[in-house]
Structures are given as structure tokens and as C-alpha cells.
């Protein structure tokens, strides 16, 4: 299997060294020459550079590991080098906003998007080994046009990368779900940290709760502002639903309503315990 990874950041680098270890022939392109050098020196890739057109003809699969808003731009520039039956995919955390267009642009190659649900509060290829895939979800997001064979090839990629659970799901369903489990969680963590009036004092007294809850407030601002905006309709709905629930709790407090508070706590405990069973 021969792959080209476009964008050697945290995730691109994690793909590179894992696939190389699995015996893949791995190429990479990145505008940052240092990242390419680092990956070559550490034997993450067979070869690389800054010109995708030199490597696209050599590979079975092109994996776009670049910022969401750069994907269509890349395809417009490079789709002319794509071959029939070549698979083009991306690791982007949102899907609806570009997958249909990307599929059109990539023809005669086969575009099928996927989403590795893993990351770290760091960026850059030098931290790639800290990015763990074991135990994580790998979501494949085919469209009506995607053949079963293509999905199976992405499933094999997920397996070779070491993901635990590999599932195919619709792009709209994906973005709705990820807006809740990932983006809303990040929006909350960011807002909680930003609402701290006295961080110098806070840091002396944080317990595990605050630490765990706010870890993801350390965030790649370029990447995540794109992810949020590409999925804004879903995310705004989730924020509003969350706000409604928090207001309910605040009103129970204002009314000294112990029974209402207990009911909210019982509900969250029951729902969350059910998740532990998975």
C-alpha cells in the first residue's frame, strides 16, 4: 500500500509513522521543509517535499491532513494529477460543508472522507508520537456515491492505524453528533476558562474536576475556529440546548428548590453511568 500524506502536522505525522511501521510506502508533502526533514530523519516517511504533483502519481491513497478551509483549495489545484480508482480522503473533524464538492472535484479518483477521533493539546509533527489512537473511534463518512469497496479500504486504514472502533456514518449525522460530543465540549471549556476572574488564585486550588474539564481549553485557535464555523448551525443549536439546561439548574438554585436540583443530578448521573457501560 502506497500513501501520500498532505500536511505533516500532529495527525499527519501520527499517520505517517504508524503506517510506515505497518509496511506502507509513505510519502508526505508540507510547506514546512523542517517538518519533512524531521519525518525523514525519524523514518516516518520514505520521501517528501512541498510539491504534491511529484508524489500523487505514485500512490494508491491521498490523505489530506490539512485545515478544513484548505481542502477544496488543494483539490482545485491538484485534482488534475488524480488517477482512476485512487482514493482521496481527509481527516477533518467536520464534513457537511465540503464533502459533496470534494467528491465532484476529485473525479475520476474516489473521494471518501473519514474522521479519526483522537488528538492532543499540541500541534506539529514532533508531538505525533503522543497522539494515541488505541481505544479511539475511527469514523468513515461515505456519501450516496461511495462504493462498498472504498469504505472497506478506509476500514483497513483505520485498522492499520490501531483504532478500536471503526464505524461508517452519514455526513449530516456525523456533524450533528460531533457538534455535541466534541465542539460543544470545547466551547464550554473555553468559556469556563475565560470566565475566570482570578486565574492566579484559581491555579492554586484547582482539583481534578476543574483540571479535567478545562484541559481542552488549550486549543489550536486556527484549526478550531474553522471547525466551529464550518459546523456553526449544529453547534449553535447544541449551545442553546445546553444553556437551557444550565438555566434550569440556575432557576432551581434561585428558588431554593432542592427537589428540582436533586432531580437534575439524578438524571445526569443515570445518563452518564449508562455511558460507562460501553
Applying the rule CB under 8 A, the residues between 137 and 156 that interact with its own copies are: 137, 139
* DSSP-assigned letters across all residues of 130-194: G---TT-EEEEE--TT--HHHHHHHHHHHHHHT-SEEEE--HHHHHHHHIIIIIIHHHHHHHHHH
Strand partners, 116: 138
Sole window of 1-9, 37-45, 141-149, 183-191 interacting with its own copies (rule: CB under 8 A):
183-191
Q: Does 264 bind its own copies (CB under 8 A)?
A: yes
Binding residue count for its own copies, defined by CB under 8 A:
91
Out of 1, 70, 72, 117, which residue is the one contacting its own copies (CB under 8 A)? 117
Sole window of 49-57, 60-68, 75-83, 270-278 interacting with its own copies (rule: CB under 8 A):
270-278
Q: Does 56 bind its own copies (CB under 8 A)?
A: no
Sole window of 22-30, 33-41, 147-155, 239-247 interacting with its own copies (rule: CB under 8 A):
239-247
Instruction: Tell me the C-alpha distance between 78 and 81, whole Å.
Output: 6
Nearest to 12 by CA among 152, 20, 273, 106: 20
Least Å from the CB of residue 127 to its own copies: 15
Closer CB to its own copies, residue 23 or residue 275? Answer: 275
Q: Does 159 bind its own copies (CB under 8 A)?
A: no
Q: Does 267 bind its own copies (CB under 8 A)?
A: yes
Residues 186-215 that bind its own copies (CB under 8 A): 186-199, 201-207, 209-215
Q: Does 41 bind its own copies (CB under 8 A)?
A: no
Q: Does 235 bind its own copies (CB under 8 A)?
A: yes
For residue 182, what are the contacts with CB-CB under 8 A and spacing of at least 6?
93, 117
Sole window of 25-33, 79-87, 155-163, 254-262 interacting with its own copies (rule: CB under 8 A):
254-262
Sole window of 6-14, 73-81, 155-163, 216-224 interacting with its own copies (rule: CB under 8 A):
216-224
Q: Does 170 bind its own copies (CB under 8 A)?
A: no
Contact status, residue 123 vs residue 11, Cβ threshold 8 Å:
no
Q: Does 245 bind its own copies (CB under 8 A)?
A: yes
Nearest to 37 by CA among 27, 49, 25, 26: 49
Strand partners, 26: 3
Out of 21, 51, 107, 218, which residue is the one contacting its own copies (CB under 8 A)? 218
* DSSP-assigned letters across all residues of 178-217: HIIIIIIHHHHHHHHHHT-S-HHHHHHH--HHHHHHHGGG
Instruction: Tell me the C-alpha distance between 16 and 125, whole Å.
Output: 10
**SS3 state of residue 227:** helix
Least Å from the CB of residue 124 to its own copies: 15
Burial (0-12, 13-18, 19+ Cβ within 10 Å), 191 = exposed
Least Å from the CB of residue 96 to its own copies: 15
Give the Cα-Cα-Cα angle 136, 169, 239 (nearest 5 degrees): 75
Q: Does 52 bind its own copies (CB under 8 A)?
A: no
Closer CB to its own copies, residue 126 or residue 186? Answer: 186
Amino acid at each position: 500500500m502506497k500513501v501520500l500524506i498532505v500536511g505533516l502536522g500532529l495527525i499527519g505525522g501520527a499517520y505517517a509513522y504508524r503506517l510506515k511501521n505497518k509496511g506502507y510506502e509513505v510519502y508526505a508533502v508540507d510547506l514546512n521543509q523542517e517538518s519533512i526533514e524531521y519525518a525523514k530523519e525519524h523514518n516516518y516517511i520514505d520521501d517528501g517535499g512541498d510539491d504534491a504533483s511529484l508524489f500523487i502519481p505514485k500512490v494508491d491513497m491521498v490523505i489530506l491532513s490539512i485545515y478544513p478551509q484548505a481542502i477544496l483549495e488543494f483539490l482545485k489545484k491538484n485534482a488534475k494529477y488524480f488517477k482512476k480508482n485512487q482514493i482521496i480522503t481527509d481527516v477533518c473533524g467536520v464534513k457537511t460543508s465540503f464533502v459533496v464538492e470534494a467528491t465532484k472535484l476529485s473525479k475520476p479518483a474516489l473521494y471518501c472522507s473519514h474522521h479519526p477521533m483522537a488528538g492532543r493539546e499540541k500541534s506539529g509533527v514532533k508531538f505525533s508520537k503522543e497522539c494515541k489512537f488505541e481505544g479511539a473511534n475511527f469514523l468513515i463518512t461515505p456519501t450516496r456515491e461511495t462504493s462498498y469497496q472504498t469504505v472497506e479500504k478506509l476500514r483497513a486504514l483505520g485498522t492499520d492505524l490501531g483504532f478500536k472502533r471503526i464505524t461508517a456514518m452519514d455526513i449530516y449525522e456525523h456533524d450533528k453528533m460531533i457538534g455535541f460530543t466534541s465542539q460543544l465540549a470545547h466551547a464550554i471549556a473555553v468559556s469556563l476558562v475565560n470566565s475566570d476572574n482570578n486565574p492566579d488564585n484559581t491555579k492554586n486550588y484547582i482539583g481534578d474536576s476543574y483540571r479535567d474539564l478545562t484541559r481542552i481549553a488549550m486549543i489550536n485557535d486556527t484549526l478550531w475556529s474553522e471547525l466551529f464555523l464550518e459546523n456553526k448551525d449544529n453547534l449553535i443549536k447544541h449551545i442553546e440546548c445546553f444553556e437551557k439546561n444550565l438555566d434550569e439548574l440556575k432557576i432551581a438554585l434561585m428558588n431554593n428548590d432542592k427537589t428540582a436540583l436533586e432531580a437534575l443530578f439524578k438524571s445526569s448521573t443515570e445518563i452518564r453511568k449508562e455511558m460507562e457501560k460501553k
